Amino acid sequence: MSNILGKNITLTLFGESHGEAIGAVLDGMPCGIEVSDETISAALAKRRPRGSNETARVEPDNYRILSGVFNGFTTGEPICITIENTNTRSVDYEANRNLARPSHADYVSHIVHQGFEDWRGGGHFSGRLTAPIVALGAICSKALEDIGITVGTHILACGGVTDAPFNDTDEAVLKQQIDDIQKKSFPVISDVEAVMTEAIDAVRRERDSIGGVIQTAVTGLPAGVGEPWFGSLDGVLANAMLSIGGIKGIEFGLGFGFKDATGATCNDAFYCNGGKVKTYTNNNGGINGGYSNGMPVVFNCAVKPTPSIAREQKTVDMATGENTTICVTGRHDPAIIRRICPVVTAMTAIVICDALKGAFSNSIFKKK
What distance in Å separates the CA atoms of residue 27 and residue 8, rounded to the nearest whole number?
8
What distance in Å separates the CA atoms of residue 246 and residue 137, rounded to the nearest whole number?
18
What distance in Å separates the CA atoms of residue 360 and residue 362, rounded to the nearest whole number?
7
Q: Which domains occur in the chain, in start order? A: 4-362 (3.60.150.10)
| Mutual angle of helices 130-146 and 337-360, in 10-degree steps | 50
Span of 159-168, 244-253, 340-349, 358-367 with lowest mean pLDDT: 358-367
Total residue count of the chain as it appears in this document: 368
Average of per-residue pLDDT across 124-152: 96
What's the first-to-final CA gap in the chain, in angstroms? Answer: 40
What distance in Å separates the CA atoms of residue 91 and residue 112, rounded to the nearest whole number?
24
Strand order in the sheet with 161-162: 161-162, 150-158, 212-219, 297-303, 247-252
What distance in Å separates the CA atoms of residue 237 and residue 225, rounded to the nearest whole number?
12
- CB 321 within 8 Å of CB 111: no
Which tens digit of pLDDT belongs to each residue from 6-55?
999 999 999 999 999 999 999 999 999 999 999 999 999 999 988 878 88
Burial 106-142 (b: 16+ CB within 10 A, else e): beebbeeeeeebbbbbbbbbbbbbbbbbbbbbbbbbb
Which tens digit of pLDDT belongs to each residue from 212-257?
999 999 999 999 999 999 999 999 999 999 999 999 999 999 999 9
Residue 63 pLDDT level (bands cut at 50, 70, 90): very high
The pTM of this model reads 0.96
Please tell me the predicted confidence (pLDDT) of residue 99: 92
Distances 125 to 16, 43, 57, 108, 271 between C-alpha atoms, Å: 8, 21, 17, 11, 46
Closest CA to 24 of 122, 151, 134: 134
